[in-house]
């Protein structure tokens, strides 16, 4: 990591000196803004050394030289840097230029699942399940590496040009069974598990719950918890027993409804024990005659991907 330096062009821009980004950040040439959030912006950039496009996440600039302020930023880089899976967007490197922290990711051409839903509306059941199978594959890899995502939602899932789902944004991820803190909750309220709202220690069951809510949204075209006010959303999660919508779209039978109901069970002990178990239940629903072998799972995944491209 580079030493801290005087105020850089990147920091002056990040502090609000203008809408145009600096021409470069380290060796990277910034080109186009891809997204903006409360804590960071994401840019398309070029790495001239390796001659490839990358995505760069610019964090809020440092206000002092206390190394502890880097910890939330480093946490995401460390978590994602430990993961190598085709359904997770990988991190290439992390650094500080001047006082500007940034993380370099693989650039994934495509759009978020949220944008996909906004453009085309609800998915067919097999289309939705095909996306979720890939999301759960990525989550299972993270859980096996000891990481809970804690903020799974449609805007944190990329759909690439080949229509594969890839999980991203591990900014609030935490170690499995990390410290509990009732005073500190992390995630997006509309997708948080009830125990996460109470500040319970991170577990894979939290991501299973969020994945079930995302799958419901894929089927209905709208979030199950629709309140835009975060406190109203948190109240519903904390106090209500959420029910499945009556209209989940044509093709959703009692079997799929039962899978969704278990995935979003209020008590963690009543949910699927792992992302892999949730994934396998969805696979069995999509192809009930298939034996649970590696070969049949690969064939099913291939067929589901084709169904996303072929009208027949």
Residues marked as catalytic: 151
Residues facing 166 on adjacent strands: 158
First to last CA, the chain: 53
Alpha carbon separation from 175 to 24, 62, 146, 296 (Å, rounded): 34, 25, 6, 33
DSSP 8-state assignment for residue 23:
S
Contact between residue 130 and residue 43 where contact means Cβ atoms under 8 Å apart: no
Phi, psi of 286 (to 5 degrees): -70, -30
Tell me, rounded to whole angstroms, the distance of Cα 240 from its chain centroid.
Answer: 25
Within 8 A by CB and 6+ apart from 232, the residues are none
Contact between residue 167 and residue 152 where contact means Cβ atoms under 8 Å apart: yes
Tell me, rounded to whole angstroms, the distance of Cα 231 from its chain centroid.
Answer: 22
- For residues 270 and 259, give the distance between their C-alpha atoms in angstroms, rounded to a whole number: 12
Alpha carbon separation from 142 to 44, 122, 145, 179 (Å, rounded): 25, 27, 5, 18
Contact between residue 215 and residue 135 where contact means Cβ atoms under 8 Å apart: no
Alpha carbon separation from 178 to 216, 255, 263 (Å, rounded): 28, 34, 22
Query: Strands 147-148 and 174-175: what pairing?
Result: antiparallel
Phi, psi of 2 (to 5 degrees): -75, 160
């Amino acid at each position: 990591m580079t030493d801290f330096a005087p105020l850089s062009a990147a920091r002056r821009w990040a502090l609000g000196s203008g809408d145009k980004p600096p021409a470069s950040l380290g060796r990277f040439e910034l080109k186009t803004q891809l997204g903006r959030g409360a804590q960071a912006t994401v840019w398309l950039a070029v790495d001239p050394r390796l001659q490839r496009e990358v995505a760069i996440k610019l964090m809020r600039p440092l206000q002092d030289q206390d190394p502890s302020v880097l910890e939330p930023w480093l946490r995401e880089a460390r978590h994602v840097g430990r993961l190598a899976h085709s359904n997770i967007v990988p991190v290439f490197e992390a650094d500080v230029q001047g006082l500007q922290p940034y993380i370099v990711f693989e650039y994934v051409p495509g759009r978020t699942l949220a944008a996909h839903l906004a453009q085309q509306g609800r998915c067919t059941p097999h289309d939705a399940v095909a996306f979720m199978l890939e999301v759960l594959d990525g989550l299972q890899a993270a859980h096996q590496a000891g990481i809970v995502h804690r903020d799974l939602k449609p805007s944190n899932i990329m759909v690439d040009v080949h229509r594969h789902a890839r999980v991203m944004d591990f900014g609030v991820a935490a170690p499995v069974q990390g410290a509990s803190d009732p005073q500190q909750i992390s995630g997006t309220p509309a997708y948080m598990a009830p125990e996460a709202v109470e500040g319970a220690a991170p577990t894979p069951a939290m991501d299973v719950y969020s994945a079930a809510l995302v799958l419901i949204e894929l089927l209905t075209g709208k979030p199950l918890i629709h309140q835009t006010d975060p406190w109203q959303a948190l109240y519903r999660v904390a106090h209500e027993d959420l029910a499945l919508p009556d209209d989940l779209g044509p093709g959703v039978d009692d079997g799929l409804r039962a899978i969704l109901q278990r995935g979003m069970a209020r008590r963690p002990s009543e949910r699927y024990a792992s992302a892999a178990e949730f994934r396998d239940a969805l696979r069995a629903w999509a192809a009930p005659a298939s034996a649970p072998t590696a070969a049949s799972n690969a064939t099913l995944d291939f067929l589901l991907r084709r169904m996303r491209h072929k009208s027949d």
